[in-house]
Amino acid sequence: MVKCDDEILNDVFSVLSDPTRREMIAQLAKGEMTVMKLAEPFQMSLPAVSKHLKVLEKAGLVSVRKEGRYRYYYLNPAAIDRASQWITNLQQFWTSQLFSLERFLDQNTNDD
């Protein structure tokens, strides 16, 4: 089943609302890591770390590569790119709106 963009964005922003998962993403931005390596900065069990990683993987933010008995997690930039593009579009809209408001205020202030 293919998810629509709204569902993907909902998943991404929901997942990013958790500070632990955001920190995991920051760690993975440095390069791929095993669960053990990712778990080092957190005071939680390996099963808890694995649960967070499954949520990140389901949302498409991370992918996993198996090598022998190890699983290496790495960032999947496509999901972040979609969220980033959505934010950029919103920023462009509000920048345009604020510019229009500024012009309006300048014109009306100068008329007095």
Every domain of the chain and the residues it spans: 5-110
The average pLDDT across 61-84 equals: 89
| Fold exhibited by the domain 5-110 | Arc Repressor Mutant, subunit A (1.10.10)
Please give the residue that has the higher pLDDT: either 11 or 29.
29
Residue 59 CB neighbours (<10 A) = 20
pLDDT value for 3: 54
Give CA–CA dist 49/43, Å, rounded: 10
pLDDT at position 69 over 60: yes
Each residue of 88-107: b (16+ CB within 10 Å) or e?
Answer: eeeeeeeeeeeeeeeeeeee
pTM over 0.75: no
* 1: confidence class by pLDDT, cuts 50, 70, 90: very low
